[in-house]
A and B are shown apart, each in its own frame.
Chain A
């Protein structure tokens, strides 16, 4: 019995750990499907987190009333606004100015992490706290509200109903993105833009519009991953650099999921599990970094397998990483 309980606990923690990755990878897949390799996603997730925290901080500390709906909506909207702005920076540089995507993305990540830490530090100063933390306990409580019957259903309830709403939101968004890509006209045209922008252009598809929308919506989805991490997973506690390398993990999952958001649900939970596996198997401390490396090892294995099978459908979007300029022939 104890073993089963432990397994369920691992699975629950894997889901919670995997949810930021799911937001991040879904957003990145959507972006990459338009041919934009946004390596700024880790930074955008940071910005999504800190923007939500700023919104929540002012709502919690500067209003006397407390309304659960507002406690959810305000951080959510400010997070979306923050990641939208960050994505627009990326979009403007790579789509309009046609700057190098890799350089822009990496710069945006560095910028986003710095920005997050700067505002995080400032907020901590405002509270005159002695500890390097910022706690948004009320907001977090709203985010962590579960369905009332969750804890009455035993292990089943624990496994499926013990999460805040954003865990389900991540799955729903991944499924919607998956559906849109596969079964709608918008999805067809978006994929065409990512595969062959010149063809899409000739067919009358507005390539830049699709790239902007995919990049911005993708960035906003990814930013929610940062928000979830702080307000739900970390119970509302902001500490600088706590988000760690999860953004890069999300990008690795894109490859693992071979650009399919529905596969990325499983991939995210698997990677989430691998990320915390060391807590459940007894290894010595000096083997810890090896354990934490596991998700990346899995990614490399997937890359090797996909490359060996050479199936066209499993390859990245053909124009990924290149900017489109009509007059260039």
Chain B
């Protein structure tokens, strides 16, 4: 299938394998051929190993096995510097720029070519590069005054300034508006016509079709296929991307006694950078069912949950909670988490950022239990007995592996940290339980423990909102699935009848794309 190694290719990978620890295999025997003067899209779901693979080419990671060939010759790439020597440069999703420096200062940072330090000359050079490929940039502008798209331009010029012939762009359009994306694509075409090879990581299918010459699809760390863009279709790509459905045997009981518990309507949110992150989101979470939220990472899942939890302000929309005891409606919008709790709303939130938002890493399990209950009682002194009991119960019932309840939680493994957090949230007897990526980084057994806990909550009449990334899990665990795409709801499906490809298509293609562009 793959070509022989030859100098006709700018870059070739052979049998590249990379594992993190013993559990996670990020890439397995991946072959890749990149021609001169082409745009190759690397397509795959979250966790399919796209970024890891690119990081190995860029020298951030070192492959465990396999070879990399540049211009037909075997290359040994151990650092980003080595990669630059092979004229390979990568633009990461998270920009690495010094805010206080100008564009030019950032571009020349780290270059010791023995020439005199001459900022004016460098600015001239930056202007030349911009002119050649059609960038619009003021070399003297400070980064902190720039928009996201300008910062990205600086990153790309930084790579070009160092003479890169192979450019890797990691989800370059994730942060751009449609207009900015069009401009970027023009620039990418100019670079391709100049003979450069561009690898672009993305999971937006319409962009793949718009910009690339060929597409490589990765799934679960393996190379599935490389096809000519002109000869493929969105349907075919989606099927390759999500693959066949795998049965996981997660138990799912029929929901009973369901009733509306949380009604979200017309939710809009703009983030501090001025980007609309939630667009007119409406849905209802019912007691006694698990509502799944699917979507590519960064489609607004985090913002959605944090808005409901009272951590982020909305531009517009309502969040209505229906009190199970008296069926009264309670409006949660513009309330702080403390106010929400004081209203008697039993809302629990397991955030994706476990040790940042969920637990205090340096405190032990008992103290972390107390974060939920420290306000109880009238005395100025806290009563440590109930949290101690709770901690011991959780350790016992969820089989948390820890030396003692007095161990700082950051010393525990990811799965055990998650058990502590979920255990604490469930112990507060919620009527709405929101969990974000609860099994991320967990082994199979711990994952099933979490699934069972969520199912038990559902059977107790809790409205569970589950944000996940593994489609197989979502399809087997959830009763209904909301699919988010670019901050908007692109579909609400029944978890029992929905097809994986259907969810995949909704995730990658907004119904309203044509309206936006």
Q: Determine if chain A interacts with chain B.
A: yes
Complex contact A196–B142 (CB within 8 A): no
Complex contact B144–A192 (CB within 8 A): no
Interface residues of B in 71-88 (CB under 8 A from A): 80-81
Q: Report the bound CA distance from A188 to B107 in whole Å.
A: 11
Q: Report the bound CA distance from A192 to B101 in whole Å.
A: 8
Q: Is B98 positioned at the interface, with any CB of A under 8 Å from its CB?
A: yes
Chain A neighbourhood of B99, CB < 8 A = 195-196, 312, 318
Q: Report the bound CA distance from A188 to B81 in whole Å.
A: 19
0/1 per residue, A171-212, Cβ < 8 Å to B?
000000000000111001101100110111011110000000
Kindly specify which of B109-117, B408-416, B473-481 makes contact with the partner chain: B109-117
Q: Report the bound CA distance from A184 to B105 in whole Å.
A: 11
Q: Is A245 positioned at the interface, with any CB of B under 8 Å from its CB?
A: no
Chain A interfacial positions (CB closer than 8 Å to B): 183-185, 188-189, 191-192, 195-196, 198-200, 202-205, 312-313, 318
Q: Report the bound CA distance from A204 to B96 in whole Å.
A: 12
Complex contact B117–A199 (CB within 8 A): no
Complex contact A188–B96 (CB within 8 A): no
Complex contact A202–B96 (CB within 8 A): yes
Chain B neighbourhood of A192, CB < 8 A = 98, 101, 109-110
Q: Report the bound CA distance from A142 to B5 in whole Å.
A: 74
Chain A neighbourhood of B101, CB < 8 A = 188, 191-192, 195
* Residue in contact with A203 in the complex, picked from B100, B110, B117, B144, CB distance below 8 Å: B110
Q: Is B355 positioned at the interface, with any CB of A under 8 Å from its CB?
A: no
If A195-B98, A198-B96, A312-B100 are given as contacts, then 17 extra A-B residue pairs at C-beta distance below 8 Å, sorted by A number, are A185-B112, A188-B109, A188-B117, A189-B109, A189-B110, A192-B101, A195-B100, A199-B106, A200-B109, A200-B110, A202-B80, A202-B96, A203-B96, A203-B110, A204-B81, A204-B110, A312-B99
What's the nearest-Cβ distance from chain A to residue B87, in Å? 15
Q: Is B97 positioned at the interface, with any CB of A under 8 Å from its CB?
A: yes
* A196 to B, closest residue via Cβ: B98
Q: Report the bound CA distance from A313 to B112 in whole Å.
A: 25
Interface residues of B in 103-152 (CB under 8 A from A): 105-106, 108-110, 112, 117, 142, 144
Q: Report the bound CA distance from A318 to B98 in whole Å.
A: 10
Chain A neighbourhood of B96, CB < 8 A = 196, 198-199, 202-203
Q: Report the bound CA distance from A304 to B166 in whole Å.
A: 49
Q: Report the bound CA distance from A312 to B117 in whole Å.
A: 24
0/1 per residue, B374-385, Cβ < 8 Å to A?
000000000000
Q: Report the bound CA distance from A196 to B143 in whole Å.
A: 13
Complex contact B109–A205 (CB within 8 A): yes
Q: Report the bound CA distance from A189 to B106 in whole Å.
A: 10
Can you list 8 A-B contacts with CB-CB less than 8 angstroms, sorted by A residue number?
A183-B117, A188-B117, A189-B110, A198-B96, A203-B96, A203-B109, A204-B81, A204-B110
Q: Report the bound CA distance from A183 to B142 in whole Å.
A: 17
* Residue in contact with B117 in the complex, picked from A184, A204, A205, A313, CB distance below 8 Å: A184
Complex contact B105–A188 (CB within 8 A): yes
Residue of A184, A189, A191, A192 with highest tally of chain B CB at under 10 A: A192
Give the total of B residues in contact with A, Cβ under 8 Å. 17
Ranked nearest first, the 8 interchain pairs of A and B with the lowest CB-CB distance are: A203-B110, A204-B110, A185-B117, A199-B96, A203-B109, A202-B96, A195-B98, A196-B98
Chain B neighbourhood of A202, CB < 8 A = 80, 96
Chain B neighbourhood of A198, CB < 8 A = 96
Q: Report the bound CA distance from A200 to B80 in whole Å.
A: 12
What's the nearest-Cβ distance from chain B to residue A202, in Å? 5
Q: Report the bound CA distance from A202 to B98 in whole Å.
A: 11
Chain B neighbourhood of A191, CB < 8 A = 98, 100-101
Q: Is the interface of A mostly helix, strand, loop or mixed?
A: helix
Q: Report the bound CA distance from A195 to B98 in whole Å.
A: 6
Q: Report the bound CA distance from A205 to B111 in whole Å.
A: 9
* B107 to A, closest residue via Cβ: A203
Chain B neighbourhood of A205, CB < 8 A = 109-110
Residue of A184, A189, A198, A199 with highest tally of chain B CB at under 10 A: A199
Complex contact A312–B144 (CB within 8 A): yes
What's the nearest-Cβ distance from chain B to residue A214, in Å? 16
Chain A neighbourhood of B98, CB < 8 A = 191-192, 195-196, 199-200
* Residue in contact with A204 in the complex, picked from B80, B97, B105, CB distance below 8 Å: B80
* A329 to B, closest residue via Cβ: B94
Q: Report the bound CA distance from A313 to B142 in whole Å.
A: 10
Complex contact A318–B100 (CB within 8 A): yes
Complex contact B110–A313 (CB within 8 A): no
Known: A185-B117, A204-B81, A312-B142. A199 touches B109 (CB 8 A): yes
What's the nearest-Cβ distance from chain B to residue A311, in Å? 11
What's the nearest-Cβ distance from chain B to residue A217, in Å? 19
Q: Report the bound CA distance from A264 to B109 in whole Å.
A: 27
Residue of A184, A195, A204 with highest tally of chain B CB at under 10 A: A204
* B92 to A, closest residue via Cβ: A202
Q: Report the bound CA distance from A197 to B101 in whole Å.
A: 13
Residue of B98, B106, B142, B144 with highest tally of chain A CB at under 10 A: B98
Residue of B81, B97, B110, B117 with highest tally of chain A CB at under 10 A: B110
What's the nearest-Cβ distance from chain B to residue A119, in Å? 40
What's the nearest-Cβ distance from chain B to residue A204, in Å? 4
Residue of A188, A195, A200 with highest tally of chain B CB at under 10 A: A188
Chain A neighbourhood of B142, CB < 8 A = 312
Chain A neighbourhood of B110, CB < 8 A = 189, 192, 200, 203-205
What's the nearest-Cβ distance from chain A to residue B141, in Å? 13
Chain B neighbourhood of A203, CB < 8 A = 96, 109-110
* Residue in contact with B97 in the complex, picked from A183, A189, A199, A312, CB distance below 8 Å: A199
Chain B neighbourhood of A204, CB < 8 A = 80-81, 110
* A202 to B, closest residue via Cβ: B96
Q: Report the bound CA distance from A199 to B98 in whole Å.
A: 7
Q: Report the bound CA distance from A192 to B100 in whole Å.
A: 9
Q: Report the bound CA distance from A200 to B105 in whole Å.
A: 12
Chain A neighbourhood of B100, CB < 8 A = 191, 195, 312-313, 318
What's the nearest-Cβ distance from chain A to residue B250, in Å? 31
What's the nearest-Cβ distance from chain A to residue B227, in Å? 33
What's the nearest-Cβ distance from chain B to residue A181, in Å? 12
Q: Report the bound CA distance from A318 to B144 in whole Å.
A: 13
Chain B neighbourhood of A184, CB < 8 A = 117
What's the nearest-Cβ distance from chain A to residue B298, in Å? 17
0/1 per residue, B423-439, Cβ < 8 Å to A?
00000000000000000
What's the nearest-Cβ distance from chain A to residue B155, in Å? 11
* A313 to B, closest residue via Cβ: B100
What's the nearest-Cβ distance from chain B to residue A189, in Å? 7
What's the nearest-Cβ distance from chain A to residue B93, in Å? 13
Q: Report the bound CA distance from A29 to B490 in whole Å.
A: 54
Q: Report the bound CA distance from A205 to B99 in whole Å.
A: 17
What's the nearest-Cβ distance from chain B to residue A98, in Å? 16
Q: Report the bound CA distance from A204 to B82 in whole Å.
A: 10
What's the nearest-Cβ distance from chain B to residue A184, in Å? 6
Q: Report the bound CA distance from A196 to B80 in whole Å.
A: 17
Q: Report the bound CA distance from A68 to B374 in whole Å.
A: 71
Q: Report the bound CA distance from A202 to B91 in whole Å.
A: 11
Q: Report the bound CA distance from A184 to B109 in whole Å.
A: 11
Residue of A188, A192, A203, A313 with highest tally of chain B CB at under 10 A: A203
